[in-house]
C-alpha cells in the first residue's frame, strides 16, 4: 500500500513537472509573439500564437495570456489598416475633387436620392434637339452611357451599335428606356450601365479613327460619334474608378472600426471576468 502511494506521488510529481515544462516552452513562443507585436510585426505574432495553440494545447496558463495578446494583435492590425485607409482616402478625395472641377452634377432632390455627374458639353440643355451618346457617373461611381435620340418621327430604337471599320459592338439590353413627345418632337433615351453595355464604352476608349453609331428599332438612323462625346466617356470612366475606390475604402474602414469596437468590448468583459475570479 505504501509502495502504491509512493508511485502515485511520483506520478503526480512527474505530471506537475511535465506541465511546468510545457508551460515554459509555450511561454517562449508567447514572449516571442509579444516582442513581434510590440515591433508591429503582427503577421509574425499571429503565426507564433497559432503555433503555441497547436503545439501546446494543454499549456492553459500560456494560452490564456495568448488570447489576451491575440486581441492586442488584432487591435494593432485594424488600427494600422485604418491609418492606411485614411491615407488612401485623402489622396483619392483630392483626386476626385480635381476631376470634379470639370463636371456638373444633375440631381433633382424631389425624386432622386443620387445624382449624376457629367461634362457640361453633354448636358441636355446644351444638346437641345440633338441625337448623341451621353456618358455619366453616379455619385457612388456607377458609370452609364445613354443613347439620346431626338427627331420629327419616332424610331423606337431598342439597340445601339458602334463600329469602326470592320469592328463593331452592339447592345440591346437597356437598364432604362424613356420615350416622349413634345411640340411635335420625339425624344427617346436608352440607358446602359457600364459592364452591361455590350462593351460600348470600352469600344469608344480603344477606337481609333471615326466611330459610326447606329440606332435600330422600328426604323434606323446612323451618325458619327462626336470627338467631345468620346472624350466624355474617357473622363467619366476615370472619375467612376476614383469614386468606386472611395466607396470601397470607406466600407473597409467602417468594417475595421467595427472590429475595433468589438475588440474593446471583449477586452472590457475579459477584465471584468478576471476581477470577478480574483
What is the DSSP secondary-structure string of 252-278?
HHHHHHHHHHHHHHHHHHHHHHHHHH-
Number of domains in the chain: 2
Domain shared by 114 and 237, yes or no: yes
Q: Are residues 65 and 176 in the same domain?
A: no
* 93 and 107, same domain (yes or no): no
Phi-psi region of 195 (alpha: psi -120 to 50; beta: other; left: phi over 0): left
Classify 207 as helix, strand or coil: coil
Task: Clarify whether residues 111 and 72 are in a common domain.
Answer: no
Helix (H) or strand (E) holding 212: strand 212-216
Q: Is 42 helix (H, G, I), strand (E, B) or coil?
A: helix
pTM for the model stands at 0.81
Question: Is 256 a domain residue?
Answer: no
Cell 468589438 sits on residue: 262
Residue 255 lies in a domain: no
Residue 83 belongs to some domain of the structure: yes
The reply to whether 66 and 162 lie within a common domain is: no
Shared domain for 13 and 79, answered yes or no, is: yes
pLDDT at residue 112, as a whole number: 77
The range of the structural domain enclosing residue 70 comes to 2-97
Which one of 68, 97, 126 terminates a domain?
Answer: 97
257 in any annotated domain? no
Please tell me whether residues 65 and 133 are part of one structural domain. no
Residue 211 lies in a domain: yes
Check if the beta carbon of residue 168 is closer than 8 Å to that of residue 198.
Answer: no
pLDDT at 131: 97
Q: Which of these three, 78, 97, 116, is where a domain ends?
A: 97
Residues 144 and 245 in one domain: yes
**Number of neighbouring beta carbons within 10 Å of residue 181:** 10
Looking at residue 149, what is its pLDDT? 97
Identify whether 35 is part of a domain.
Answer: yes
27 lies in some domain: yes
Per DSSP, the residues of 99-157 read HHTT-EEE--TTT-SS-EEE-GGGSGGGGTT--EEEEEEETTS-EEEEEEEEESS----
Final residue belonging to a domain, choices 76, 97, 118: 97
- Based on the domain organization, do 50 and 137 belong to the same domain? no
Statement to judge: residues 31 and 130 lie in one domain? no
Report how far Cα 256 is from the mean position of its chain's Cα atoms. Answer: 14
83 lies in the same domain as 121? no
Cβ atoms < 10 Å from Cβ of 241: 16
Residues 93 and 109 in one domain: no
Place of cell 494543454: 58
**What does each of the 278 residues of the chain score in pLDDT, given as a tens digit?**
444 444 343 444 344 444 578 888 999 999 999 999 999 999 999 999 999 899 999 888 999 899 899 999 999 999 999 999 999 999 999 999 999 999 999 887 877 788 999 999 999 889 988 999 999 999 999 999 999 999 999 999 999 999 999 999 999 989 999 999 988 899 999 999 999 999 999 999 999 889 999 999 999 999 999 999 999 999 999 999 999 999 999 999 999 999 999 988 887 776 655 666 55
Provide the terminal-to-terminal Cα distance of the chain, rounded to the nearest Å: 39
Residue 263 lies in a domain: no
Amino acid at each position: 500500500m505504501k509502495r502504491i502511494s509512493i508511485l502515485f506521488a511520483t506520478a503526480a510529481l512527474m505530471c506537475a513537472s511535465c506541465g511546468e515544462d510545457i508551460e515554459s516552452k509555450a511561454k517562449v513562443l508567447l514572449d516571442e509573439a509579444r516582442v513581434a507585436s510590440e515591433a508591429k510585426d503582427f503577421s509574425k505574432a499571429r503565426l507564433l500564437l497559432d503555433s503555441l495553440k497547436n503545439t501546446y494545447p494543454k499549456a492553459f496558463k500560456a494560452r490564456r495570456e495568448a488570447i489576451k495578446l491575440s486581441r492586442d494583435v488584432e487591435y494593432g492590425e485594424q488600427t494600422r489598416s485604418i491609418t492606411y485607409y485614411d491615407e488612401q482616402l485623402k489622396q483619392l478625395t483630392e483626386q476626385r475633387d480635381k476631376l470634379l472641377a470639370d463636371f456638373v452634377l444633375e440631381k433633382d432632390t424631389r425624386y432622386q436620392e443620387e445624382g449624376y455627374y457629367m461634362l457640361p458639353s453633354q448636358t441636355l440643355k446644351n444638346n437641345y434637339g440633338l441625337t448623341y451618346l451621353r456618358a455619366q457617373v453616379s455619385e457612388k461611381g456607377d458609370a452609364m452611357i445613354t443613347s439620346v435620340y431626338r427627331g420629327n418621327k419616332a424610331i423606337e430604337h431598342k439597340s445601339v451599335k458602334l463600329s469602326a471599320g470592320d469592328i463593331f459592338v452592339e447592345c440591346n439590353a437597356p437598364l432604362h428606356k424613356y420615350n416622349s413627345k413634345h411640340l411635335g418632337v420625339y425624344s427617346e433615351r436608352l440607358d446602359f450601365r457600364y459592364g452591361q453595355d455590350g462593351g460600348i464604352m470600352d469600344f469608344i476608349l480603344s477606337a481609333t479613327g471615326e466611330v459610326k453609331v447606329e440606332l435600330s428599332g422600328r426604323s434606323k438612323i446612323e451618325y458619327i460619334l462626336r470627338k467631345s462625346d468620346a472624350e466624355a466617356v474617357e473622363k467619366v470612366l476615370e472619375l467612376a474608378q476614383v469614386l468606386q475606390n472611395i466607396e470601397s475604402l470607406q466600407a473597409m474602414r467602417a468594417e475595421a472600426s467595427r472590429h475595433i469596437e468589438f475588440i474593446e468590448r471583449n477586452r472590457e468583459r475579459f477584465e471584468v471576468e478576471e476581477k470577478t475570479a480574483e
